[in-house]
Each structure stands twice: as C-alpha cells, then as structure tokens.
Amino acid sequence: MLIDFTLNGKPVTVDAPSDITLLDLLRDHLNMTGAKEGCAVGECGACSVIMDGRLVNSCLVLAPQAGGSEILTIEGIHAPDGGPNDLQDNFITYGAVQCGICIPGMVIAGEALLMKTLEPTRQEIRVALAGNLCRCTGYQQIVDAIEATAVQRKIARG
Ligand code: FES
Ligand code: FES
C-alpha cells in the first residue's frame, strides 16, 4: 500500500506492506537506520521517534498509522550546518554516550521533552526518559546533558 507522510520536514510516499511496523518502514524502506530495534516489544525506547509532537515507540506503531502524520527521527535532529545540535553536543560533553545503541532514542526523548518545556526538573527529565533503557551510562550523564541544554536554550531565547 502507498503511505504518505512527512518525514523530517519533507513529504514522502512509500510503497510498503500494510502489516509492518513504522520502525521497519523507516529502516527497511526509507533507509533511516538511526532508530534501533532493541526489544521490538515497547520496552527499551531504542526505536523512539516523535510522531505529531508525541514520543512513540516506532516498533509499536503500524506503518499505515503513519499516514498523514509528521514524523521526526534522529536523522532530522542536527544543527543548521548538518553537524550535532546543542543537545547532541551536550551528550558528548557530559560523557552521556558509550555504546550508542540507546542514544538516538535518548536524544529523541530529550528533544520531545524540550519541545514542551525548557525548565524541566531533574525528576521530570527522569520521567521523560522512563521508557528509554541504557545499559551503559547509568543515566546520570544523560540527565545532565538534557538539563544543560534546557538551560542553554532558555538563555538563548531570552
Ligand atoms: S525496539 Fe521499540 S521499544 Fe524496544
Ligand atoms: S550508551 Fe550503551 S545502551 Fe546507552
């Protein structure tokens, strides 16, 4: 079936089976391999994307459900020059990246939170990351990176 949606700000039409997940649609039919398949059952958050402004596990969304929606993946998160944006820079600065498997989902979850508030408490950041598992960094540095980005964006926006 043909599925039309907006992917990282650009309209796309893709011909794909109707019984695959959004994660497989992105990875196998659109070559967007930033979202990872960790568990495939909605437990790990490695497949996180933002769908119509809401953080979702793309392994739990059927591809046809993407029809007419706006999807933001990790490939759509970058600075204007194509390099890392401020949040991604802070993940590096704060040592929040080790193996990297969880990181696309963590960055997406962080961006979803920062779209809603630039004054999150550390507890709110932890809640925002509750669906994203990391077996490497212990979360502290990831929370630090998101907190620092919120402060910087708030200052930049005056
Ligand atoms: S792969 Fe989707 S939540 Fe784990
Ligand atoms: S950096 Fe390895 S799972 Fe998070």
Per-residue model confidence as pLDDT tens digits over 75-92: 999 999 999 999 999 999
Average pLDDT of 38-65?
Answer: 98
What percentage of the chain exceeds 70 in pLDDT? 100
Residue 72 has pLDDT above 90, yes or no: yes
Which ligand minimizes its atom distance to the CA of 38? 1
Ligand 1 closest atom vs CA 45: 3
User: Does ligand 2 come within 6 angstroms of the Cβ of 98?
Assistant: yes
Report the separation in Å between the CA atom of 115 and the middle of ligand 2, taken as the mean of its atom positions. Answer: 23
- pLDDT tens across 118-137, in order? 999 999 999 999 999 999 98
Ligand nearest to the CA of 132: 1
Q: How far is the CA of 129 from the centre of ligand 2 (A)?
A: 13
Q: Is the pLDDT of residue 138 over 90?
A: no
Distances (CA, A) of 4 to 47, 66, 81: 20, 8, 28
pLDDT band at 2 (very low <50, low <70, confident <90, very high): very high
Instruction: Round to whole Å and give the CA distance between 23 and 40.
Output: 9
- CA distance to 14, 16, 25, 26, 45, per residue, from 29 (Å): 7, 7, 5, 6, 21
Q: Tell me what the mean pLDDT of segment 10-38 comes to.
A: 98
CB 113 within 8 A of CB 101: no
143 CB-near residues (< 8 Å, 6+ apart): 122, 125, 126, 129
Distance 120 CA to ligand 1 centre (A): 25
pLDDT for residue 137: 84
Residue 105: predicted pLDDT: 98
Q: Give the Cα-Cα-Cα angle 107, 9, 7 (nearest 5 degrees).
A: 75
Residue 40 in this model has a pLDDT that exceeds 90: yes
Q: Does the pLDDT of residue 151 top 90, yes or no?
A: yes
Q: CB of 38 closer than 6 A to ligand 1? A: yes
What long-range pairs does 82-88 form, CB within 8 A, spacing at least 24?
86/149, 86/152, 86/153, 87/111, 87/114, 87/145, 87/146, 87/149
Look at residue 158 and tell me whether its pLDDT is greater than 90: no
User: Cα of 158 to ligand 1 centre, how many Å?
Assistant: 37
What pLDDT is stored for residue 148 in this prediction?
A: 98
Indicate the range of 87-91, 103-107, 133-137, 140-144 predicted with least confidence. 133-137
